[in-house]
Amino acid sequence: MSSDAEIALENVLLPGGRVADISLAGGKIIHVGAGRRADRTIDCSGLLCLPGAVDMHVHMRGGETQGYKEDWVTGSQSALAGGVTTVVDQPNTVPSLTTAAAFRGRVAEATRDAYCRFGINGYVSGESDITGLWEAGALAFGETFAAASSYGSAVTPDELAKAFSVIANLDALVTLHCEDVIPGDDTSLTAHEFLRPDAGEKTCMEMLAARFSPGLSAHFCHLSSPLSAEAAMMAPPATFEVMPHHLFLSIEEHGTVPEGYCKVNPPVRHEATRKALWEMWDAIPVIASDHAPHTVGEKSQSFSAVPSGIPGVETMVPLLLAQVYRGRIALTSLLEKVVYTPAHLLGIHASTLLPGSPADLALYPQQETETITADTLHSRAGWTPYEGMQGVFPQITCVGGHISYMRNEFSQADGLWIPGRGYKASETE
C-alpha cells in the first residue's frame, strides 16, 4: 500500500497545547492530526514543535579571506542546531557585494555549502549597482552602514539619499546600521559604550529618516536601548530589531568571559539600559542575532585591537525559549519576533504549522534547559559570550520537509536559496 506522506512526526506538542501527528510531503505540511501512512515515522513524544525561525541579520563570513572565522557549512549548521531554518546574509563581505557578478558568486558559494534556507542582501554604497543586485536576486538591501563597523564603510548622506530613491522605486526593503561614533581610546567595554552612545544611534536614525524617499520601506538594525527603539517607533513606516546580546549582556553583567568577547557594534550597554530594554519586549517587532563570528585569537587581543562581533545564530532562540519556560515572555510573542514578522518584512513564506505551509520546523524538549557551553555549539568561532547561561535547544530541525538536523547529525537538502522579488535569471543560469 502506498504512503500518503514522506515523513510523519508523531505525538508532537503544538504551541496551543494539542498533541498531534504532523505529516509532511512535497516540502509542506499536508496534515495535522491523526497520523497518515508515511515512508518514515519519527516518535516526537515529549517534544514541542515550533515553526523554524527566520534570522534576518547574520554574517556568514566565508569567501576566500574569511572562511577561517566561519563558512556556510558551519554557520548554517549552527543555525539549524538553534532552530533557525532561514538566515539572511549581510553583504559586507570581503569584497562587498556591490555588483551582480559578486552577488551571484556569493549565491553559488552558499548554494554549494548551506544546510538551511538562505537569502542574501545587496550592499549599499556610492558604487553599488542597486538595480543590478535586485535583479540578481538580492532579498533586501543592507545592512547599510551610516557609521563604519567591521568590514563596512560608512556611506555618505548624499549617497544614502540617492540609494533610498532607487530602493523605494524598486519597492525593496533597506536595513540600516545607525551610530554616531565619537573619537577616543577604545580600551574597555565602558569606553566602547561611551564612544558609541545610544544618543548617537538616535541622532543617526533621525538623520536617515529625514532622507527617506516617499514609499521607502526601512528597517533599523540592532537597536541597543529604549532611546533608539522609541525613536524608531516614531519613524513609520520603519521597523526595527533588537539582538539577544543587548538583552542578555551588559557592561556590568557579562558572565565569566573576557570583555573582548562582548565587544560588538552597537555596544552592550549598562545594566540599567539592558533591563529597560527588556521592559519594552512587547513593542519590539523583530529579534535577530547579528551572528558575526571571529576567532578566539582575534577576540583575545588587547581590547582596542579586538574586532567587534558576536556569534549568536545558534543561541538566539534557545536563550529566549528558556525565558518562555520561566514565564518571563509569552511563546506567541517570541514566534512573532523570530518567525512571522521577519518573514513578512522580507516577503517570504514561514511555517504556520498548518496544512499547506512550508515544513520548516524545530522540535524542542518541553520545560528542559541546558547550560550553554562553547564545546556543544557548532560555529567555527569556538566561543560564546553566553557561556554558562541556560538555553532550550532543538533535537530535530526540518527544512522543507527534510530532516536537516537530528540529535547532532546534519543532512543537506537542495533548493535552499530564497531570491528576492526582483530576481531575473541570467542566460547562464
Grid cell listed for 213: 524617499
Residue 158 pLDDT > 90, yes or no?
A: no
Mark which of 346, 368, 390 sits at the end of a domain: 346
Residue 322 pLDDT > 70, yes or no?
A: yes
Q: What is the arithmetic mean of pLDDT over 218-227?
A: 97
pLDDT at 3: 76
pLDDT at 36: 83
Judge if 160 and 288 occupy the same domain. Answer: yes
Is the distance from CB of 118 to CB of 105 less than 8 angstroms? Answer: no
- Calpha distance 88→57 (Å, rounded): 6
Query: Residue 336 has what DSSP assignment?
Result: I
Kindly state whether residue 426 falls inside one of the protein's structural domains.
no
Judge if 338 and 358 occupy the same domain. Answer: no
Kindly state whether residue 418 falls inside one of the protein's structural domains.
no
Residue range 267-318, pLDDT digits in tens: 999 999 999 999 999 999 999 999 999 999 999 999 999 999 999 999 999 9
Judged on CB neighbours under 10 Å (0-12, 13-18, 19+), 256 is exposed
Amino acid found at 136: A
User: Which residue's C-alpha cell is 534576518?
Assistant: 56
Judge if 34 and 10 occupy the same domain. Answer: yes
pLDDT at 273: 98
Q: What is the arithmetic mean of pLDDT over 74-91?
A: 98
Query: Residue 407 has what DSSP assignment?
Result: T
Kindly state whether residue 417 falls inside one of the protein's structural domains.
no
How far is CA 151 from its chain centroid?
Answer: 18
Look up the pTM and report it.
0.96
Judge if 35 and 174 occupy the same domain. Answer: no
Catalytic residue (one of 55, 113, 290, 360): 290
Is the distance from CB of 33 to CB of 65 less than 8 angstroms? Answer: no
Q: 379: domain CATH number?
A: 2.30.40.10
Mark which of 346, 366, 394 sits at the end of a domain: 346
Grid cell listed for 410: 546534519
Q: 205: domain CATH number?
A: 3.20.20.140
Residue range 337-346, pLDDT digits in tens: 999 999 999 9
Grid cell listed for 199: 544618543
- Calpha distance 133→275 (Å, rounded): 40
| Average predicted confidence (pLDDT) for the chain | 95
Kindly state whether residue 386 falls inside one of the protein's structural domains.
yes
Kindly state whether residue 183 falls inside one of the protein's structural domains.
yes
- Calpha distance 223→281 (Å, rounded): 13
pLDDT at 427: 62
Query: Residue 414 has what DSSP assignment?
Result: S
Judge if 38 and 85 occupy the same domain. Answer: no
Judge if 42 and 74 occupy the same domain. Answer: no
Kindly state whether residue 104 falls inside one of the protein's structural domains.
yes
38-43 vs 84-89, strand pairing mode: unpaired
pLDDT at 1: 43
Q: What residues make up the domain containing 14? A: 5-49+354-410
Annotation says 198 is catalytic: no
Is the distance from CB of 399 to CB of 51 less than 8 angstroms? Answer: no
Judged on CB neighbours under 10 Å (0-12, 13-18, 19+), 416 is buried
Mark which of 346, 371, 397 sits at the end of a domain: 346
Judged on CB neighbours under 10 Å (0-12, 13-18, 19+), 286 is buried
**Cβ neighbours for 340, distance < 8 A, ≥ 6 positions apart:** 350
Judge if 323 and 380 occupy the same domain. Answer: no
Of 113-117, 136-140, 151-155, the range with the lowest mean pLDDT is: 151-155
Q: What is the arithmetic mean of pLDDT over 261-270?
A: 98
**Cβ neighbours for 75, distance < 8 A, ≥ 6 positions apart:** 58, 60, 61, 62, 87, 291, 293, 313, 379, 380
What is 340-351 written as a DSSP string? IHHHHHHT----
Residue 130 pLDDT > 80, yes or no?
A: yes
Judge if 226 and 366 occupy the same domain. Answer: no
Residue range 369-421, pLDDT digits in tens: 999 999 999 999 999 999 999 999 999 999 999 999 999 999 999 999 999 99
Judge if 211 and 358 occupy the same domain. Answer: no
Judge if 157 and 269 occupy the same domain. Answer: yes
pLDDT tier at 150, thresholds 50, 70, 90: low
pLDDT at 235: 73
pLDDT at 149: 59
Residue 151 pLDDT > 60, yes or no?
A: no
Instruction: Name the percent of the chain lying above pLDDT 90.
Output: 90
Kindly state whether residue 429 falls inside one of the protein's structural domains.
no
Smallest CA-to-CA distance from 178 within 218, 208, 211 is with 208
For residue 18, the cross-strand partners are none
pLDDT at 268: 98
Judged on CB neighbours under 10 Å (0-12, 13-18, 19+), 271 is middle
| Terminal Cα-to-Cα distance of the chain (whole angstroms) | 40
- In Å, how far are 49, 58, 77, 378, 398 from 86, measured between CA atoms? 17, 10, 11, 16, 11
Residue 365 pLDDT > 70, yes or no?
A: yes
Smallest CA-to-CA distance from 224 within 240, 209, 239 is with 240
pLDDT tier at 152, thresholds 50, 70, 90: low
Smallest CA-to-CA distance from 24 within 351, 404, 359, 413 is with 359
> What values do phi and psi take at 390, rounded to 5?
-100, 140
Residue 236 pLDDT > 90, yes or no?
A: no
Q: What is the arithmetic mean of pLDDT over 352-370?
A: 96
Total tally of structural domains belonging to the chain = 2
Kindly state whether residue 416 falls inside one of the protein's structural domains.
no
pLDDT at 148: 58
Q: What is the arithmetic mean of pLDDT over 214-230?
A: 96
Residue 226 pLDDT > 50, yes or no?
A: yes
Judge if 204 and 302 occupy the same domain. Answer: yes
Judge if 391 and 332 occupy the same domain. Answer: no
